């Protein structure tokens, strides 16, 4: 029993837990959603990126609290849904799963390394797209197709943007 208690602080030292001020926690996801809706009308290729997804992953991995992660992913996804043609809940479900998984993973590995961040974003992007596809095909019966080349390109593009974005967001985090 004493060994278990002693192991807990050691793991907390190895994997830092961070918090964010209220303005950063609220305004960053809102800004991500707004930019995601606004930039593609000038730069069409920008819709291959998913800024709300990157913000979801970042906050979930930094806070390392599964409930906060899944709730934030859920809210960001639902707002993003409301701007699309789809039913509300498709991005919500996908980002809820990502928020939950990212916060679970954040407590187990060091996510400050750029290399590990690239791998994490690649994995979560593909997982997010797979979840969205499963909901669209399985629950809503939308006749959409899975294009591997397009999804892999999107994963790489988001991973590269994510490394830069995470470095910027690192400036706003505080040790909990």
Partner 1 sequence: MGRGSSAPAITMESFLTRHKNLIALAVVLAGQIIGLAMQVRVNNAQGGMSLMRMWSISAITPVEKGLVHGQNGVFSGWSNYFYLRGVRKENRQLREQIEQMRLQNVRVEQDALQARRLQALFDFKEQFISQTLPAQVIGSSGSDQSRIIYLDKGSDDGVKSDMAVISPDGIVGKVLRVLPTTCQVLVIDDQLSGVGATLEKTRLQGILAGTPSGTLIIKYIMKDEKVEPGETVVTSGGDRIFPKGLAIGRVKDVTPGKDMFLNIRVTPAANLSELEEVLVVTRIVERERTNEETNGPVKAADILAARLPTVQPGSGPKFDANGNLIKTPPPAAANGTGGAGGNASSTTPKTPGATKPGGTQATPGTAPKSALAKPKPANSAEAPQP
Q: Which residues bind partner 1 (CB under 8 A)?
A: 33-34, 36-42, 44-48, 50-51, 66-67, 70-71, 74, 78-93, 96-97, 100, 104, 132, 135-136, 139-140, 142-145, 147, 150, 154
Place of tokens 């994997």: 15
Measured from the CB atom, the residue of 31 and 170 that comes closer to partner 1 is: 31
CB count in 10 Å sphere of residue 171: 7
Task: Provide the 8-state DSSP code for 168.
Answer: H
Tokens of 72: 């934030």
Dihedral of alpha carbons 127, 131, 132, 134, sign: positive
Provide the β-strand partners of residue 175.
18
Measured from the CB atom, the residue of 12 and 150 that comes closer to partner 1 is: 150
The least CB distance from residue 14 to partner 1, in Å, is: 21
The least CB distance from residue 31 to partner 1, in Å, is: 11
Measured from the CB atom, the residue of 84 and 174 that comes closer to partner 1 is: 84
Measured from the CB atom, the residue of 112 and 151 that comes closer to partner 1 is: 151
Q: Within 13 Å and on the Cβ side, how many CA atoms surround 20?
A: 23
């Amino acid at each position: 029993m004493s060994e278990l208690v002693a192991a807990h602080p050691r793991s907390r030292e190895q994997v830092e837990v961070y918090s964010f001020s209220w303005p950063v926690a609220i305004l960053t996801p809102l800004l991500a959603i707004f930019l995601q809706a606004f930039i593609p009308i000038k730069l069409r290729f920008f819709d291959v990126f998913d800024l709300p997804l990157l913000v979801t992953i970042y906050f979930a991995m930094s806070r390392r609290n599964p409930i906060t992660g899944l709730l934030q992913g859920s809210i960001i996804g639902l707002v993003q849904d409301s701007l699309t043609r789809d039913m509300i809940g498709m991005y919500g479900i996908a980002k809820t799963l990502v928020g939950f998984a990212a916060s679970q993973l954040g407590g187990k590995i060091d996510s400050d390394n750029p290399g590990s961040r690239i791998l994490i974003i690649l994995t979560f992007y593909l997982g997010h797209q797979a979840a969205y596809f499963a909901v669209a095909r399985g629950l809503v019966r939308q006749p959409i197709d899975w294009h591997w080349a397009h999804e892999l390109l999107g994963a790489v593009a988001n991973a590269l943007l994510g490394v830069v974005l995470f470095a910027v967001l690192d400036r706003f985090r505080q040790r909990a």
